[in-house]
Amino acid sequence: MNLLIDICHPAHVHLFRNFIKIMKEREHNVYIAVKDIPAAKVLLKTYGIRFIEYGFKSDSIIGKTLRQFQYDNSIKNIVNELDIDLGIGTSITIAHASKISRMKSFVFDDDDSSVEPLFSKFAHPFADYLVSPDVLAYERKKQSHIVYPGFHELAYLHPNRFTPDRKVPESLGIKENEKFFILRFNAFKAHHDIGIKGLSHEQKRKLINTLKEYGKVFITTEDRIECEFEEYQLKSKPEEIFSLLYYSNMFIGDSQTMTNEAAVLGTPSLRLNSFVGRISYLEQQEKKYKLAFGFKPGEFDSLTAKIKELMSFENLKEEWQRRRRVMLNDKIDVTGFLVELIDSYPDSIKDIKNNTDYFEKFK
């Protein structure tokens, strides 16, 4: 088959990179499209994935709306030129293009519709298949909706797909038993981020001062780091972040994706932003598996209190690895599922609907 994957965010390079490799090994023609997103292009190059670049991203709603028509036309032209059979991605564009071409679309979405109302309104109705974690089954009940027991992050951080490298923290001068923390500060520029608050500058300063009492602090940011915090900026290769998250004593930030990445790796994961209480997959990590903690913007003191409480916890990392094993027992190797879903299409659709034990083989 001829497959087209549209990359809309750096995290989606990780979501699909193992899938891309396996599908190419199975002799499918796999093409990657990406907008001018520097971090995503760096990751694609890091993993040796060739891509077709189209369009520029805009930060404003008006700009995003106007550019969407350009995106749709560009992808439609790629689809027609390459005779694409299936389009895969997390994008509105893939969904739209499937309605003006012979291509069928699989749109992957792990966010609640209330969090991303525009995406739900303008992507979901156009997608041939919408694929989501089963924690969203309550709002995705159409025949064309496919829910699976997992998280996006388990496509690349499931133990079948990821082995942490102890040499990565060592390369930063971190000794084997030395405590260290990973912080992530978000830019909040997406359309669903309008009105969303994360950590303020003053809160970042207080957070760093609190953590410095326990160990080393490393910061990764979506946007340019503030001058005051440059000495803490993480200087490592993008692909090394997961080993650092695995070995770190704690993750703290205002990013949804990295919060869940740390959680599925078995690292205590704390976030502060306006999305807390609104994202089902993170609510599950917090309430069911107790791998993460969420705090709203006015609860910074509770966040710092939780940090101090956790740092007094004996065998913290061992306990979180135990909780991780409980979570993994319920979930699947998402890449394994994606490969069979697409490689065996359309028979896979029938199997999912008719076989109640379908997902057991991916555990």
Residues 190 and 279 placed together within one structural domain of the fold: yes
Residues 25 and 111 placed together within one structural domain of the fold: yes
Across 288-326, b (16+ Cβ under 10 Å) vs e yields: ebebbbbbebeebeebbebbeebbeeeebbeebeebbee
The span from the CA of 94 to the CA of 328, in Å, is: 31
* Number of domains present in the structure of the chain: 2
What's the pTM?
0.93
pLDDT of residue 280: 97
Describe the strand order of the beta sheet including 250-253 as a list of residue ranges.
216-221, 180-185, 250-253, 269-272, 292-295
Residues 111 and 188 placed together within one structural domain of the fold: no
The span from the CA of 249 to the CA of 268, in Å, is: 7
Per the domain annotation, does 142 fall within a domain?
yes
Q: Would you list the DSSP string of 34-62?
A: E-S-HHHHHHHHHTT---EE-----SSHH
Residues 194 and 291 placed together within one structural domain of the fold: yes
The span from the CA of 166 to the CA of 354, in Å, is: 43
Residue range 206-229: average pLDDT?
91
Q: What is the DSSP letter of 154?
A: G
pLDDT of residue 279: 95
Asked whether residue 302 carries a pLDDT value surpassing 70, the answer given is yes
Residues 35 and 153 placed together within one structural domain of the fold: yes
Query: 63-118, pLDDT tens digit by residue?
Result: 677 788 889 999 999 999 999 999 999 999 999 999 999 999 999 999 999 999 98
pLDDT band at 151 (very low <50, low <70, confident <90, very high): very high
pLDDT of residue 221: 84
Inter-helix orientation angle 256-264/280-287, to 10°: 40
Residues 276 and 349 placed together within one structural domain of the fold: no
Per the domain annotation, does 162 fall within a domain?
no
How many beta carbons lie within 10 A of that of residue 144, not counting itself?
Answer: 14
Residues 112 and 183 placed together within one structural domain of the fold: no
Per the domain annotation, does 280 fall within a domain?
yes
Q: Which range of residues forms the domain containing residue 197? A: 167-330
Residue range 23-40: average pLDDT?
95
Asked whether residue 191 carries a pLDDT value surpassing 60, the answer given is no
Residues 119 and 48 placed together within one structural domain of the fold: yes
Per the domain annotation, does 243 fall within a domain?
yes
pLDDT of residue 193: 46
pLDDT of residue 69: 86
Residue range 284-295: average pLDDT?
98
Residues 182 and 228 placed together within one structural domain of the fold: yes
Report the DSSP pairing between strands 250-253 and 86-89: unpaired
Q: Which CA distances in Å does 210 have to 181, 204, 217, 279?
A: 11, 10, 10, 28
Residues 29 and 129 placed together within one structural domain of the fold: yes
pLDDT band at 226 (very low <50, low <70, confident <90, very high): confident
How many beta carbons lie within 10 A of that of residue 135, not counting itself?
Answer: 20
Query: 252-289, pLDDT tens digit by residue?
Result: 998 899 999 999 999 999 999 999 999 999 999 999 99
Per the domain annotation, does 269 fall within a domain?
yes
Per the domain annotation, does 262 fall within a domain?
yes
Residues 227 and 321 placed together within one structural domain of the fold: yes
Asked whether residue 187 carries a pLDDT value surpassing 70, the answer given is no
Residues 71 and 147 placed together within one structural domain of the fold: yes
Q: Domain containing 228 — which CATH number?
A: 3.40.50.2000
pLDDT of residue 59: 64
